[in-house]
């Protein structure tokens, strides 16, 4: 319960931390595109290398990165097993009873693992680990601000995100407390059938909802007292100006993308 899977911010002073968050969101999107551009061994090797470089320059401890990957470990294992056993191709490696393993299958599995890990490392290193949640929501607001012209409530949406992020740890703590309180009253969360365990959660959920609504009402009053009146006429303490250096990572990732495309065209190595 203590560690929250949402990939929390890791404070540090790396280059990645200092890039403008709006640029980082674009970088993350471009990085996702890059990971889907890969088609052969060399381009996947380049992708894997870029992920390693990202981790190194972000100065985030490997323990935290692997902790984040643990959540998708099952998906990784499952997809690679499916790829190994169900991909057919030309080079048969093992033919025993009903199991046929082809070289293509092994490659497909490795590629899939590299792609998924790179996707997760890329997005979390660019966004969640190196950018504070509030910077993230602020920049999403900035990037989507053209939609305000179409009367899309961008500011309200960003505010909701910020508040949700702010209250996740508070509500997790509260859930812990309620569960302990209900355990003390004899509720058993860990045994019995799935249905009875789900039912045991009801006495946790109801107080949690009640308290969440009370909190919401309190917070609304407190925000009103602090002169909150929507996005109109609001300023920001941290005004970000995109500097020239912020464009350098964009160039780098564009070079990465083009080189991946070139590698695909050259077709060196094992192509999928």
Using CB under 8 A, list all residues that contact other proteins.
11, 132-134, 162-163, 165-166, 169-170, 173, 214-215, 218-219, 221-229, 233-239
Residues 6+ apart with CB under 8 A from 183: 189
Compute the distance between CA of residue 190 and CA of residue 167 in angstroms, rounded to an integer.
26
Compute the distance between CA of residue 174 and CA of residue 209 in angstroms, rounded to an integer.
11
Residue closer to other proteins (CB basis): 37 or 134? 134
Residues 6+ apart with CB under 8 A from 195: none
Residue closer to other proteins (CB basis): 159 or 204? 159
Compute the distance between CA of residue 76 and CA of residue 78 in angstroms, rounded to an integer.
6
Residues 6+ apart with CB under 8 A from 217: none
Residue closer to other proteins (CB basis): 198 or 219? 219
- Minimum distance between the CB of residue 67 and other proteins, rounded to whole angstroms? 18
The residues facing 99 across adjacent strands are 96
Residue closer to other proteins (CB basis): 208 or 272? 208
- Minimum distance between the CB of residue 21 and other proteins, rounded to whole angstroms? 13
Compute the distance between CA of residue 47 and CA of residue 220 in angstroms, rounded to an integer.
46
- Minimum distance between the CB of residue 242 and other proteins, rounded to whole angstroms? 16
Compute the distance between CA of residue 154 and CA of residue 227 in angstroms, rounded to an integer.
19
Q: Is 190 helix (H, G, I), strand (E, B) or coil?
A: coil
Compute the distance between CA of residue 142 and CA of residue 266 in angstroms, rounded to an integer.
39
- Minimum distance between the CB of residue 72 and other proteins, rounded to whole angstroms? 25
- Minimum distance between the CB of residue 84 and other proteins, rounded to whole angstroms? 42
- Minimum distance between the CB of residue 170 and other proteins, rounded to whole angstroms? 5
Question: What tokens were used for 256?
Answer: 């990465």
Residue closer to other proteins (CB basis): 185 or 236? 236
Residue closer to other proteins (CB basis): 150 or 237? 237
Residue with tokens 């323990």: 63
- Minimum distance between the CB of residue 40 and other proteins, rounded to whole angstroms? 42
Compute the distance between CA of residue 104 and CA of residue 258 in angstroms, rounded to an integer.
26
Residue closer to other proteins (CB basis): 166 or 197? 166
Residue with tokens 């320059």: 57
**Which is nearest to 260 in space by CA: 37, 49, 30, 32?**
37
Residue closer to other proteins (CB basis): 41 or 212? 212
- Minimum distance between the CB of residue 58 and other proteins, rounded to whole angstroms? 18
DSSP 142-163: HHHGGGGGGT--HHHHHHHHHH
């Amino acid at each position: 319960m203590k560690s929250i899977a949402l990939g929390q911010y890791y404070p540090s002073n790396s280059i990645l931390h200092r890039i403008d968050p709006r640029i980082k969101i674009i970088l993350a999107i471009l990085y996702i595109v890059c990971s889907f551009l890969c088609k052969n061994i060399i381009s996947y090797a380049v992708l894997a290398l870029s992920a390693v470089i990202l981790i190194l320059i972000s100065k985030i401890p490997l323990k935290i990165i692997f902790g984040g990957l643990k959540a998708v470990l099952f998906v990784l294992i499952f997809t690679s097993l499916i790829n190994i056993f169900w991909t057919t191709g030309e080079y048969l490696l093992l033919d025993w009873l009903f199991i046929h393993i082809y070289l293509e299958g092994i490659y497909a599995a490795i590629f899939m693992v590299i792609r998924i890990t790179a996707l997760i490392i890329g997005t979390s290193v660019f966004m969640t680990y190196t950018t504070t949640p509030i910077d993230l929501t602020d920049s999403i607001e900035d990037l989507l601000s053209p939609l305000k012209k179409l009367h899309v409530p961008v500011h309200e949406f960003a505010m909701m995100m910020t508040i949700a992020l702010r209250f996740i740890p508070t509500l997790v703590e509260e859930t812990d407390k309620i569960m302990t309180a209900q355990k003390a009253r004899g509720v058993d969360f860990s045994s019995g059938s799935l249905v009875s365990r789900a039912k045991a959660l009801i006495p946790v959920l109801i107080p949690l909802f009640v308290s969440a609504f009370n909190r919401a009402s309190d917070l609304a009053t407190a925000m009103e007292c602090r002169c909150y009146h929507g996005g109109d006429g609001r300023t920001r303490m941290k005004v970000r100006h995109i500097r020239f250096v912020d464009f350098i990572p964009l160039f780098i990732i564009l070079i990465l993308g083009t080189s991946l495309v070139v590698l695909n065209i050259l077709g060196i190595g094992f192509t999928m």
